[in-house]
């Protein structure tokens, strides 16, 4: 993500906070910036590590609380993955994922043909679809290499 776009997102966040009467603290801004700056799909703990590099003594509970709040606000998303720690996604627009079944890492991909998926009727499940992701599952470079070494 470009520095310009990150600034813009942070400004948008400030506006939303003002509108809702939520205090826009240094911690909140640093946490959002940490997610937007990353190119992968970090866990809460990884975000915490990034944030504390700049702003010492931001606590883990605050990171968890704020990340959840940012998801609620729709500024970031949660990524679907096969592992155990929740992973966050700086992108909320239509895009897709390469998911490594060995190390659970996720890589973003964009492809117009994947965007063109026809969402089927899910009314019989009582389920309301808001968006979709195509997950291409397999092995990433690292895990592939380790596999070959065996």
Partner DNA sequence: TTAAGTGCAAAAGCTTTGCGGGTAG
Partner DNA sequence: CTACCCGCAAAGCTTTTGCACTTAA
133's contact among DNA, its own copies, none, with CB below 5 to 8 A by partner kind, is its own copies
Residue pair 98/109 in contact (Cβ under 8 Å)? The answer is yes
Q: What's the gap between Cα 65 and its chain centre?
A: 15
Residue pair 113/58 in contact (Cβ under 8 Å)? The answer is no
Query: From the list 5, 11, 45, 111, which residue makes contact with its own copies (rule: CB under 8 A)?
Result: 111
Q: Provide the mask over 24-63, with x wherever binding to DNA is found by CB under 7 A and - wherever it is not.
A: xxxxx--------------xxx-----------xxxxxx-
Please report how close the Cβ of residue 53 comes to its own copies at its closest, in angstroms. 25
User: For the packed helices 44-54 and 26-37, what is the interaxial angle rounded to 10 degrees?
Assistant: 120
Residue whose C-alpha is closest to residue 32's, from 3, 60, 59, 6: 6
Q: Provide the mask over 70-89, with x wherever binding to its own copies is found by CB under 8 A and - wherever it is not.
A: --------xxxxxxxxx---
105 is an interface residue for DNA by CB under 7 A: no
| Strand 87-89 with 77-79, pairing | antiparallel
Query: From the list 15, 22, 94, 144, which residue makes contact with its own copies (rule: CB under 8 A)?
Result: 144
Q: What's the gap between Cα 143 and its chain centre?
A: 22
123-142 residues in contact with its own copies (CB under 8 A) are: 125-141
Binding positions for its own copies, rule: CB under 8 A: 78-86, 98-101, 107, 109, 111, 113-114, 117-120, 122, 125-141, 144
């Amino acid at each position: 993500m470009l520095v310009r776009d990150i600034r813009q997102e942070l400004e948008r966040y400030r506006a939303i906070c003002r509108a809702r009467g939520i205090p826009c603290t240094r911690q909140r801004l640093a946490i959002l910036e940490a997610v937007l700056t990353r190119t992968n799909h970090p866990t809460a703990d990884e975000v915490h590590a990034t944030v504390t590099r700049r702003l010492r003594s931001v606590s883990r509970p605050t990171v968890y609380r704020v990340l959840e709040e940012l998801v609620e606000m729709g500024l970031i998303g949660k990524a679907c993955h096969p592992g155990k720690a929740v992973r966050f996604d700086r992108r909320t627009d239509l895009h897709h994922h390469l998911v490594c079944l060995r190390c659970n890492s996720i890589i973003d991909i964009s492809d117009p043909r994947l965007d063109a998926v026809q969402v089927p009727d899910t009314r019989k499940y009582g389920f309301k679809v808001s968006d979709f992701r195509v997950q291409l599952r397999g092995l990433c470079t690292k895990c592939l290499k380790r596999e070959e070494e065996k």
